Structure 1
Amino acid sequence: MDIILLRHGQPNIDTDKLQRAREMRAWIDQYNLAGIVDTPPENARTLSAQPRYVVASTLPRALASLALLGLQPHESDALFCEAELPVLSVPLLRLRPLHWVVIFRLLWLCGYAKNVESLSSAKKRAAAASGKLADLAAAQGAVLLLGHGVMNSLIANKLKTAGWKLHSQSGNSYWNARVYRLADPLTTSA
């Protein structure tokens, strides 16, 4: 039984234009609607080529990534969507969007969640998502989730807590995957 957590491809959005913090809400909204600009690398194609049950987030970048792999999801569920970023007003300062994303994500990890889902709530959602993936893997033999960086990491932590072991990992950037395998209790008992 395998659960593959695959991150979406690179979103089609400008990451170079300097932004004020207050402009980031609109940028994040555009990011959430963005398609994909790159093509899947060989490792993503290999993982997705094997027959399995496919689930995805409902965000366009996840669904567009699946389409580039030549796949359609059996299920698309908001349960697997990325944890939203809080936007904090910082007057006068202009940074590239990805710098703001790092700042906002660090603030979120430290407990700042104004107008968005808190880390605690996201962890609860990740627990539900990991349970759903485990149930699907038990029924289907293997499941592929096309999801997002932070949420995939939160789901991975819940899978590990439930006894799933990291079998392989290709990194944490776009198109990279982590494969988790539930150890066979008959072969691991002493």
Structure 2
Amino acid sequence: MSLDTPHITRLGDIVLARHGKPALSRKCWLTAQQYRDWWGRYDAGGLLEGQAVPPGIMQTAREAGTIYASTLRRAQETAAAVSQGQPVHTHAVFVEAPLPPPHWPDWFKMPPRLWGVVARLWWHVFNHHDGQESRLEAEARAGRAADMLIERALAGQDVLVLAHGYFNHMIGQQLKARGWKLVDDQGFKYWCQRRFRRA
């Protein structure tokens, strides 16, 4: 769609938001194999009950012309909490990039947070994917996601994505490469938003 199409008065913003806090506890020490099992439970699980939804993300949802969510349960429950009855478009293109840990011996244990850092490093730098999605494949998927969001935004709609920390970062990189500027950055904590606007 041309940017000078007469009936388009403004371009929409693209907002990438991370889901709320998951219920699964990170207060444990795990072997590499145990972390694989833990991550499987994390992906299957939902949000911790009783969380207060920040008013900022509620306002973003009210103003959005389109709301997307990852297919994973924690993103779906986040969407239900913020959408206020608006339609939510579920799409697997927004699911988190995989986190397979390296094959380290069982005597070595770390908490899930540190395993996440190590697994992401091994995946990102050393292409350790254990037969799951590789970094290059995830980057291509992030590009497809960015193109999907841009198409909506060029029609004049603000677009909200409720998904995951690292893959949102990957989409953000693709948006920047396509000429979109990060104009509001709350970081990557739970419920936080990052807003992109056409430069």
Task: Note the residue ranges of structure 1 that are not aligned, 5 or more in a row.
Answer: 184-190
Decide which of 4, 22, 34 is 2:33's aligned counterpart: 22
TM-score by length of 2: 0.87
Q: CA deviation at 1:50?
A: 1.6
Residues 60-111 of structure 1 show CA distances to partners (whole Å, capped at 9, x for unaligned) of: 0101011111445531111010001113222111111111111111111112
Note the aligned Cα RMSD (angstroms).
1.4
Query: Does the CA contact (< 8 Å) of 1:9 and 1:174 recur in 2?
Result: yes
Matches within 5 A, 1:142-181: 142-181=158-197
Q: Which amino acid aligns with 2:92?
A: A
Aligned to 1:87: 101
Give the equivalent residue in structure 2 for 1:74: 88
8 Å contact from structure 1 (residues 41, 175) kept in 2: yes
Contact 1:39 1:68 in 2 (8 A): no
Q: Give the AA of the match of 1:39.
A: A
Retained in 2: the 8 A contact 1:22–1:88?
Answer: no
Alignment TM-score, normalising by the size of structure 1:
0.91
Q: Deviations over 1:24-83 (max 9, x none)?
A: 121111100111113322222222222421011100010101111144553111101000
Question: How many angstroms does 1:140 deviate by?
Answer: 5.0
Listed as ranges, the gaps of 5+ residues in structure 2 are 1-11
Report Cα offsets for 1:94-133 as digits up to 9, x if no partner.
1111111111111111122122211111100000000000
Contact 2:63 2:158 in 1 (8 A): no
In structure 2, C-alpha distance between the alignment counterparts of 1:73 and 1:165, rounded to whole Å: 27
The one-letter code of the counterpart of 2:192 is N
Contact 1:82 1:147 in 2 (8 A): yes
The size of the alignment, in residue pairs, is: 183
Amino acid at match of 2:115: W
1:11 corresponds to 2:26: no
Decide whether aligned partners of structure 1 residues 164 and 107 sit closer, same or farther in structure 2, where only a CA change above 3 A counts. Answer: same
Aligned to 2:115: 100
